[in-house]
Amino acid sequence: ATRGGPTTPFYLTRTEREVSLERPDHWRLYRLHDLSATPGLFVLPPPLEASVTLEAETWRAGF
């Protein structure tokens, strides 16, 4: 959810993306926006790459 508009960037976990790919018929992203004004909602079905650009924001380093 965000106070910003519908195109405000948001974070998605690796697990959320993996589940969206593994279970596309059962997974949806519900995007709440404009919470400080008139709230809005839209739903994105998989594949997310059809609707948004996914960029790596953080990396986990392991040994």
User: Is 23 within a domain?
Assistant: yes
**DSSP SS3 for 48:** helix
Give how many domains the chain has, as a whole number.
1
User: Is 5 within a domain?
Assistant: no
Query: Is pLDDT above 90 for 27?
Result: yes
pLDDT per position as a tens digit, 40-61 = 999 999 999 999 999 988 888 9
**Strand pairing class (40-44; 29-33):** antiparallel
* Pairwise CA distance, residues 50 & 63, whole Å: 34
Which residues span the domain enclosing 33? 14-50
Write out the two tokens for 43. 């739903």
For range 10-36, the mean pLDDT:
95
User: Is 4 within a domain?
Assistant: no
User: Is 63 within a domain?
Assistant: no
